[in-house]
């Protein structure tokens, strides 16, 4: 019997960090062909839900989509801050009203996720783009759990976006051709998912915020790859992950010393939030993306579309290539978020699906 892999080997770990370091050093060179901000087409007929839009990359994504004419739904915890941002954006456009609204969403509560999805689906309106942007990296902090009992990085970065994506499928099908875009991270290259201990409670691995973050981002890629396969071409729903690049934030304290040194010595190479938003905006608006995603389904590719910070297709980590592990992550994730194993198929067929969280709990 083959022994189940327990962690990255040291060579795999080293290769992963070499990749992260190279991305840090050369991301500006790789993206020198891109405009900043990215030029967007008219988006007057597009409805987009974007999570985590009160700061950073998410704020830039929401603002630029709205300024291009899209109907943008800011899915946030802090409604007051979001409404203040909308007022600022409208003022900068000489009082022209942007088509932006705010809806409350707390990713640390799966009840909140279910309530948000039910409220939106009840409108019976099409959804064209879902951008799961919100995420956390609680640098150096001790392990924390949500009220649902899940490690916070895992819930905010993976479980809650996964639940939101599945539950919004009825609206995304109405918006066909539609897109689910998960803002991922180059840091998933040093992640490893133990499907028997996704919540990191067994004691087999010493917890750190870096471990929680990188593993949650890898889990997101793996789940997205299976969702990409489970949504048939006829549904018109396309699933992808994007890398924003390495954006200027205060994350270096939990990184290896060599990466810390690079992070502090060469700030020129780090992206601003506006630059980091380009890959998600490209994935949301480029007309060739649906055809590319469909071609990956046809070719039985092992993972979903992964768009680099340079706005071109690239490959996720070697771990993300494992079809077997990806399906284990899929099954475990559905179990954790309280959905039946056939939830996607039932929703695509227009049938009701019950979740143990929120208004759908038994």
Cβ count within 10 A of residue 269 = 18
Determine the Cα–Cα distance for residues 356 and 333; give it in Å rounded to an integer: 13
Active-site residues, by number, are 213
Q: Which residues contact 266 (CB under 8 A, 6 or more apart)?
A: 24, 25
Determine the Cα–Cα distance for residues 147 and 161; give it in Å rounded to an integer: 17
Determine the Cα–Cα distance for residues 223 and 20; give it in Å rounded to an integer: 22
Determine the Cα–Cα distance for residues 73 and 328; give it in Å rounded to an integer: 32
Please, are residues 73 and 46 in contact by the beta-carbon 8 Å criterion? no
Structure tokens at 158: 């993976």
Determine the Cα–Cα distance for residues 206 and 214; give it in Å rounded to an integer: 14
Residue 174's Cβ-count burial label (10 Å; 0-12, 13-18, 19+) is middle
Q: Which residues contact 310 (CB under 8 A, 6 or more apart)?
A: 27, 30, 31, 33, 34, 279
Q: Which residues contact 256 (CB under 8 A, 6 or more apart)?
A: 17
Q: In what order do the strands lie in the sheet with 129-132?
A: 100-104, 71-76, 47-51, 129-132, 178-183, 237-242, 305-307
Residue whose C-alpha is closest to residue 224's, from 275, 293, 156: 293
Please, are residues 250 and 136 in contact by the beta-carbon 8 Å criterion? no
Phi–psi pair at 51, nearest 5 degrees = -90, 150
């Amino acid at each position: 019997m083959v022994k189940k892999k327990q962690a990255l080997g040291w060579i795999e770990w080293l290769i992963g960090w070499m990749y992260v370091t190279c991305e840090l050093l050369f991301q500006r060179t790789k993206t020198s062909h891109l405009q900043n901000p990215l030029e967007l087409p008219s988006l007057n007929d597009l409805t987009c839900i974007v999570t985590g839009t009160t700061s950073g990359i998410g704020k830039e994504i929401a603002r630029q989509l709205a300024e291009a004419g899209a109907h943008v739904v800011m899915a946030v915890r802090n409604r007051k801050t979001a409404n203040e941002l909308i007022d600022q954006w409208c003022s900068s456009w000489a009082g022209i009203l942007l088509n932006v609204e705010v809806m409350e969403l707390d990713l640390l509560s799966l009840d909140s996720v279910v309530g948000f999805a039910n409220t939106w689906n009840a409108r019976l309106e099409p959804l064209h783009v879902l951008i799961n942007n919100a995420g956390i990296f609680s640098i150096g902090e001790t392990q924390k759990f949500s009220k649902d009992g899940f490690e916070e990085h895992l819930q905010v970065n993976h479980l809650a976006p996964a639940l939101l994506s599945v539950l919004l499928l009825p609206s995304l099908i109405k918006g066909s051709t539609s897109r689910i875009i998960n803002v991922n991270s180059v840091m998933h290259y040093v992640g490893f998912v133990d499907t028997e201990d996704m919540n990191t409670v067994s004691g087999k691995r010493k917890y750190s915020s870096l471990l929680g973050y990188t593993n949650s981002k890898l889990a997101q890629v793996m789940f997205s790859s299976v969702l990409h396969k489970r949504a048939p071409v006829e549904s018109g729903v396309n699933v992808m992950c994007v890398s924003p690049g390495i954006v200027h934030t205060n994350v270096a304290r939990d990184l290896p010393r060599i990466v810390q040194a690079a992070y502090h010595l060469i700030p020129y190479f780090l992206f601003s939030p506006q630059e980091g938003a380009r890959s998600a905006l490209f994935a949301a608006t480029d007309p060739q993306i649906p055809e590319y995603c469909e071609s990956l389904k046809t070719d039985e590719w092992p993972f979903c579309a992964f768009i680099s910070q340079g706005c071109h297709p690239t490959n996720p980590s070697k771990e993300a290539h494992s079809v077997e592990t990806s399906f284990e992550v899929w099954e475990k994730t559905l179990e954790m978020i309280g959905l039946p194993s056939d939830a996607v198929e039932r929703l695509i067929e227009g049938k009701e699906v019950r979740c143990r969280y929120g208004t759908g709990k038994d």
